[in-house]
Amino acid sequence: MKKSEFRGAAKVFSFTLIQTLKNRAYLVFTALMVLFSALSMPLMHAIQNMGEESGVAKIENIRQILWYDETEALFGSSFTQMGLQFTKMLAEPAFSGVTFEEAELPYETVLSALKEDEAYAHTVIARLFSGELGLTLEVVRPVAGAVTEDEGDYLADKMTESIVAFKEEATGLTKSQQEVLKTQVSLLVQREDENGSLKAKEDTVISNAQYWIIYGLAFVVMLVSTIASSQVASSIVVDKSTRVVEYLLTSVRPMALVVGKTLAMLLASIGQMFVMIAILLTSNWLTGRISGEESFLQGILPEGIWSNITPLNLLVSAIMICLGFLFYAVLAAMCGAMASRIEQTQESLMLLTVSNCVGIYLAVMAANELQISGKGALVTFTMFFPLSSPYLMPGMLLTGSAAWGNALVSILLLLVVDALLFKFVATIYELLITHNGSPIKGKELLGIYKSLKKEHKKGEAGCTR
């Protein structure tokens, strides 16, 4: 490919970018995304706190808590006998006027009274017992009484806090230490290598939070890639359907057109994504600062997640995402050029849609596999397969579930595939861009490529432009 093929691409790029940024649909969509990003964090924070606040307001409907402690069978004496008290909980303003007493009547008697007797309209049964799932706290409220579901939930939360605090005090173990005791024992088989270092077979299963990060990032990348690709395709169809392309081709080569347009649309979409993420993070930080509490993202993300979000990891992820965008955008440019009229756009985008679906489905399935059984054949394939690697690899890298070497191999493969696709598109684009009539079918592309390669050989013999 000669340098002259790209002459004028910079002018096509700047014109397309300016016109896209001035486009009303683009501005409206960006404004909506900005609004959504800015409002989502305070909204999520408010929803998160809503339950607690409403519970505090309505606890006044509970007058009596009847306590059944059936934990004696476990340790020889019940938690209550060992010193479990709810003093701190009952001292809270929300519980003023609430009486807490150990039940004397059998559980079943009180339970049936709770269903029928109006005298129990403001009474709640709280029962702690051991079952298959370990310790269970059961809170029962009267069927026809005034006690609401929120009040029941609030009471259950508060009692759970007291029970956890008692367990920590009694065992001398913190909550997280107790959690570790409850987890399964992982297997770590190690062997000594030739240098005497230990080599371990890793446990590659990811946590729920890591899964959602990989899934969420894949979804955002797919969303932006889809928007950018469709914009590239429709921009090329507009050039063709309005016949502007004929005028443009008297000044620039088809490749300059495709490169200028693709990069401009990509930049506009990536800019949109960055603005959205920046506003989302700012909104999250501001919400935390203003409320004086833990921000929404801090609350849902696991501790230590930020240790993998290093500048270098971000850079490698950004390169991967950009190469992925480029792949889909070049594919979109080719698909756009296969149509002659706006109404043919959807039909011509079939190849792009199928490729995109394959990419995102593989990424989601691989994330599932990672969460269930760790790195297997599907994950390994998806990490390197160019259709899916831009969706999966950045998330894996940023959650520490992929190694650097893997990311570099993925980048190399994407680079090779991008270059091959570009070469293919460069060969057939000239014919596609001047084609009018019925949309060209995907299966016809290879035939066109072969015949044009022959023509290009003739061209080298003198019949060039």
Which residues of this chain interact with another protein, rule CB under 8 A? 4, 7-8, 11-12, 15, 18-19, 23, 238, 242-253, 430, 434, 451, 455-456, 458-459, 462-465
Residue ranges of alpha helices (H) inside 117-253 are 149-171, 175-182, 208-241, 244-248
Q: Does residue 362 contact residue 387 with C-beta atoms inside 8 Å?
A: yes
Which CB sits closer to another protein, 58 or 253? 253
* Closer of 126 and 337 to another protein (Cβ): 337
The smaller minimum CB distance to another protein, of residues 282 and 451, is found at 451
Counting Cα atoms < 13 Å in the Cβ hemisphere of 279 gives 17
Sign of CA dihedral 62, 65, 66, 71: positive
Cα separation values, 177 from 44, 136, 172, 373, 456, Å: 30, 20, 10, 25, 70
Residue 243 beta carbon to another protein: minimum distance, rounded to whole angstroms: 3
Q: Which is nearer to another protein, 176 or 464 (CB)?
A: 464
Q: Smallest distance, Å, CB 4 to another protein?
A: 7
CB nearer to another protein: give 45 or 240: 240
Around Cβ 109, how many Cβ atoms within 10 Å?
11
Asked if 230 contacts 269 with a C-beta cutoff of 8 angstroms, the reply is no
| CB of 250 vs another protein, minimal distance in Å | 5
Widest distance between CA atoms in the chain? 105
Nearer to another protein, 340 or 348 (CB): 340
Instruction: Please report how close the Cβ of residue 238 comes to another protein at its closest, in angstroms.
Output: 7
Residue 94 Cβ, how far from another protein at the closest point, in Å? 57
Query: Least distance in Å: CB of 226 to another protein?
Result: 22
CA 88, 91, 94, 100 torsion: positive or negative?
Answer: positive
- Tracing tokens 């035939």 back to the chain, one arrives at 447
Least Å distance, CB 331 to another protein, is 23
Strands 123-131 and 64-70: parallel
- Cα–Cα distance measured from residue 6 to residue 33, given in angstroms and rounded to the nearest whole number: 34
Nearer to another protein, 258 or 414 (CB): 258
